[in-house]
Amino acid sequence: MRPSLVWFRQDLRLADNPALQAAVDRGEPIIPIYIWSPEEEEGWAPGGASQWWLHGSLKALAADLETLGSRLVLRSGRALPALQKLARQTGAGAVFWNRRYEPAAVERDRQVEQALAADGLEAKSFKGSVLWEPWEIATQAGTPYKVFTPFYNACLRAGLGGEPLMRPSALPAPESWPDSEPLSELDLEPQRDWTDGIRKEWTPGEDSARETLRRFLRGGLGKYSRDRDVPSVLGTAQVSPHLCFGEISPRQAWVATGESGGEAWKRQLVWREFGRHLLFHFPRTADEPLRPEFVRFPWKDDPAALQLWQKGQTGYPIVDAGMRQLWETGWMHNRVRMIVASFLVKDLMIPWQEGARWFWDTLVDADLANNTLGWQWTAGCGADAAPYFRVLNPMSQGQKFDPKGKYVRRWVPELESLSAKDIHEPWNATDAVLKRASVELGKDYPYPIVDHAEARTAALDAYGQLRGDTRTRR
């Protein structure tokens, strides 16, 4: 009996898990393992909020495995020596895992596969975290896509190719279990507990992922096209951290919407695929712009402004609401992500990489592919990016997507008594109105840190020069 090792990574679930299924099909005892190896992530080790989530998700996975008569073996350190040691200790004959697409993981997995095969083990990886492998979708010329709509159409043409796999009903245990490090020793939970708001909002784990998706399909899917851009309404699935940690697979999410309907939502799942496609084919884009001319962009080094943005103290209510939602709950509505990101890179002209880093540390759904895609898209330096002259106006975005000011009131309570008309630009309210609402600008709530109209002109000039274009679109 030579057990199979199943190496869990961003697929912390039992259902629709091809690596786990391969081990079940092999018919030998199964040893599920997780290896905490942040040093192998090349500067993108999970941030604070993700670590909190990972702790909860590993705990949930371990409990789920126990219901199947199994266990989760935890190790820390570099993956290859950890796997080799476990294989020696247990006499394992095979190691199975689901693929990841971040550059550091791709390279590491290639080395792991070669080394384990050289050790005489069956080492095999599977498609468990995407609907289409990045190399399965290509243009007619055989090149990667850089524009979303043709990518989307190519995905639809390729078809889904199969139903999600069932959750195994039992997992054969080995005669003896290898040692496991206690979860607490991975130190994933913060020393100083700042997670109160996050804990109220989220429950990591496969059961919670399934329930979140079920709730959305019952109540939200039909209204998604209408409500998805309204941050005060729970109009999106809020399933992103569950997808990020693989507590639910994109295939399960796609298939659960049924044969017809849900097109607008499934399109978002394809954006997720597009993110992986781009990061796999353009692996430097997590740190560098896809469009090389942007290396010359005259970004500003302004740590004071960056800090005000991070703290939600820019004086632009919709921006501050988003940044405070992020800090408090580890998540931010997509429309507001676009607004705060545009404000950072265009109004403040601070490098998109600074914003991406802050999101990386604070989001529970921090995902290298989606985060890179979102930031490069906003900055105008990525694939299929927003045109460089598109500078989101925080006042009109607020008025359009939060017309009653409900979202701002929730996250910027010092402005709660202002009317829907004034709440998105309090500096234009009369003194009497501000007084009635108990708002003293500069004391209770800051004045805007930049003048949006002037900042927009400066950004457009800089973008125009980058393109060797003396015209600007004012």
Ligand X SMILES: Cc1cc2nc3c(=O)[nH]c(=O)nc-3n(C[C@H](O)[C@H](O)[C@H](O)COP(=O)(O)OP(=O)(O)OC[C@H]3O[C@@H](n4cnc5c(N)ncnc54)[C@H](O)[C@@H]3O)c2cc1C
**Quick one: which segment of 115-123, 159-167, 336-344, 448-456 binds ligand X (CB under 6 A)?**
336-344
Q: Is 341 in the site for ligand X (CB under 6 A)?
A: yes
Q: How far is the CB of 65 from ligand X (least distance, A)?
A: 25
Q: Is 236 in the site for ligand X (CB under 6 A)?
A: yes
Q: Is 285 in the site for ligand X (CB under 6 A)?
A: no
Closer residue to ligand X in complex, CB, 33/350: 350
Q: Is 203 in the site for ligand X (CB under 6 A)?
A: no
Q: Is 208 in the site for ligand X (CB under 6 A)?
A: no
Residues 349-368 that bind ligand X (CB under 6 A): 359, 363, 365-367
**Quick one: which segment of 94-102, 146-154, 240-248, 403-411 binds ligand X (CB under 6 A)?**
240-248
For residues 424 and 474, give the distance between their C-alpha atoms in angstroms, rounded to a whole number.
22
Q: Is 24 in the site for ligand X (CB under 6 A)?
A: no
Give Cα 315 to chain centroid, integer Å: 27
Question: What would the x/- binding string for ligand X be over residues 296 to 335, using CB under 6 A?
Answer: --------------------------------------x-
Residues 242-271 that bind ligand X (CB under 6 A): 243-244, 268-269, 271
Nearest residue to ligand X by CB is: 374
- Position among 80, 92, 154, 338 found at the interface with ligand X (CB under 6 A): 338
Q: Is 342 in the site for ligand X (CB under 6 A)?
A: no
Q: How far is the CB of 155 from ligand X (least distance, A)?
A: 13
For residues 213 and 405, give the distance between their C-alpha atoms in angstroms, rounded to a whole number.
28
What number of chain residues touch ligand X (CB under 6 A)?
28
Q: Residues in the site for ligand X, rule: CB under 6 A? A: 228, 236-240, 243-244, 268-269, 271-272, 275, 334, 337-338, 341, 359, 363, 365-367, 370-371, 373-375, 378
